[in-house]
């Protein structure tokens, strides 16, 4: 007869059986500590950025006088103000090339701003990212200025412009104060000067050329530097295809369409 384990026996009473060691409570996760510290640091940085943004908005002027400033510049350049509404054949290539999130962003492009900040921190080349509102703020409020202070001012004013004016009004203001090369200021004067007709009659290729020129009007002047202007035009058309304003076939057809430039000393139509 074998050995029988009593019903009231414990683990220590069973031959060959040892009581398992009690499980130690695992130490606090190091990853959790790192995440907590990172969250606190991020919250502090966001608070600092929010305070800096609020200070910047308070320190910069109102954007309610943008139309007044545009009118002053028009008088200085001897052109009529206000100009006509911006035609789609100029608005679409401008938006596609300069600011393809124009209709959905709040005056600044957070993704582009992030790239610019990263570039400044790492010392890499500035990839741009100025929205149409920022470019308009530069033209109206900080012409000829550069540096961090000017850029921050443009950012703050871009946000204010976005809330003070509709997108159509912002495009119109931009079109009226931009320089298009060859001595032409304002979209209407540029259309009349290059093509001999008002902006309302711009063809797709003509509007694309003018939208491309504003980025570097002295370098991409289609009369003084036709090869560079054509290269810029090709880029604008490619952007219109990329954002869906044109199909690839349409883009090729537009790029091969004659510009019809008839330069005139008088920018009137």
For residue 110, the domain's CATH number is 1.10.3810.10
Is residue 234 domain-resident? yes
Specify if 212 maps to a domain. yes
| Whole-number Å distance between alpha carbons of 199 and 79 | 14
Q: Residue 102 gets which letter from DSSP?
A: T
The contacts of residue 175 (CB under 8 Å, 6+ apart) are 83, 86, 90, 94, 186, 187, 199
In a domain, 2, yes or no: no
Q: What is the rounded CA–CA span in Å between residue 213 and residue 134?
A: 18
Q: Are the C-beta atoms of residues 163 and 150 closer than 8 Å to each other? A: no
- Structural domain includes residue 225: yes
Cβ partners under 8 Å of residue 17, min gap 6: 11
Q: Which domain holds residue 103?
A: 72-255
For the chain, the domain total comes to: 1
What pLDDT was estimated at residue 191?
Answer: 95
Asked if residue 148 is part of any domain, the answer here is: yes
188 is a domain residue: yes
pLDDT at residue 266, rounded to an integer: 62
> Has this prediction a pTM greater than 0.85?
no
Mean pLDDT in each 10-residue stretch from start to end of the chain (269 residues)?
A: 52 54 57 70 61 60 87 92 93 96 88 63 62 95 87 90 94 96 94 94 97 94 94 97 97 95 71
């Amino acid at each position: 007869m074998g050995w029988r384990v009593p019903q009231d026996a414990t683990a220590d009473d069973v031959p060959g059986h040892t009581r398992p060691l009690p499980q130690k409570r695992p130490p606090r996760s190091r990853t959790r500590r790192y995440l907590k510290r990172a969250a606190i640091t991020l919250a502090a940085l966001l608070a600092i950025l929010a305070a800096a943004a609020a200070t910047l908005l308070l320190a910069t002027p109102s954007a309610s006088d943008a139309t007044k400033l545009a009118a002053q510049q028009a008088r200085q350049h001897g052109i009529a103000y206000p100009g006509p509404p911006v035609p789609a054949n100029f608005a679409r290539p401008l938006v596609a090339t300069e600011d393809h999130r124009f209709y959905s962003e709040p005056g600044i492009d957070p993704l582009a701003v992030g790239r610019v900040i990263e570039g400044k921190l790492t010392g890499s080349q500035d990839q741009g990212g100025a929205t149409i509102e920022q470019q308009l703020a530069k033209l109206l409020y900080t012409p000829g200025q550069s540096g961090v202070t000017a850029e921050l001012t443009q950012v703050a004013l871009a946000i204010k412009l976005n809330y003070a004016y509709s997108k159509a009004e912002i495009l119109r203001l931009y079109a009226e104060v931009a320089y298009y090369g060859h001595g032409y200021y304002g979209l209407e004067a540029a259309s009349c000067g290059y093509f001999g007709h008002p902006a309302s009659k711009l063809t797709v290729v003509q509007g694309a050329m003018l939208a491309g020129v504003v980025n570097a009007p002295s370098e991409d002047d289609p009369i003084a530097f036709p090869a560079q202007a054509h290269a810029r035009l090709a880029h604008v058309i490619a952007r219109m295809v990329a954002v869906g304003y044109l199909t690839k076939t349409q883009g090729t057809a537009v790029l091969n369409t004659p510009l019809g430039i008839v330069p005139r000393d008088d920018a009137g139509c």
